[in-house]
Each structure stands twice: as C-alpha cells, then as structure tokens.
C-alpha cells in the first residue's frame, strides 16, 4: 500500500512539472515537459514493481487442490495442482 501512495505522489509531481511548462521561465517548455514525463514514467515503474512483487507473493503462497473423481468411483481424490 505504501508503494502505491509513493507512486501516486511521484505521479502528481510529474504532472505538476509537465503542466507548469508554460507558466515558468526557469527552464524551456520542452525540457520541462520532458522532465515531467520522465518523472511520470518513474512513478509508473514504482507502481508496476509493486504489482509484480504482489503477484510473486501470491504464486509463492498458493496451494491449490484440485478435486477429481478416482477411477474406482470411491470418492473424491484431492491432488495438489502443479501450476508454474
């Protein structure tokens, strides 16, 4: 959750830099837009890294059992799924 908030704040900073391109005179508008877009991309990478990390955690901790019927018909046979 903390990385999502960090990514949001980075994105807001990038959007502010991009939108302020024509209202300031310190840097040229092209440079301001470029820096703003790079900051936005950095925020996206922070968020995507967080999502990839969560996906890996779910794969590592999942234990799925598949219910199948045994050939003799004597009842359910629970086997562990071999998902990779």
In order of 3, 7, 25, 71, the CA distances from 48 in angstroms are 10, 9, 34, 45
C-alpha 44/C-alpha 82 separation (Å) is 33
Tokens at residue 44, please? 């996206």
pLDDT, tens digit, 9 for 90 and up, residues 38-47: 999 998 888 8
What local confidence, expressed as pLDDT, does residue 38 receive? Answer: 92
C-alpha 38/C-alpha 62 separation (Å) is 36
Nearest to 32 by CA among 44, 43, 16, 46: 16
Which domain range does residue 72 map to? 2-80
Q: What is the value of pTM for the model shown?
A: 0.57
Total number of domains in the chain: 1
Rounded to the nearest 5°, which phi and psi values hold at 68?
-130, 160
What local confidence, expressed as pLDDT, does residue 68 receive? Answer: 56
Positions of the chain with pLDDT under 70: 53-84
């Amino acid at each position: 959750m903390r990385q999502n908030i960090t990514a949001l704040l980075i994105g807001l900073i990038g959007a502010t830099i991009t939108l302020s391109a024509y209202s300031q005179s310190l840097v040229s508008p092209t440079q301001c837009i470029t820096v703003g877009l790079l900051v936005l991309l950095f925020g996206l990478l922070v968020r995507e890294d967080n999502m990839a990390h969560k996906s890996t955690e779910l794969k590592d901790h999942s234990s799925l059992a598949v219910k199948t019927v045994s050939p003799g018909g004597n009842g359910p046979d629970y086997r562990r799924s071999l998902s990779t």
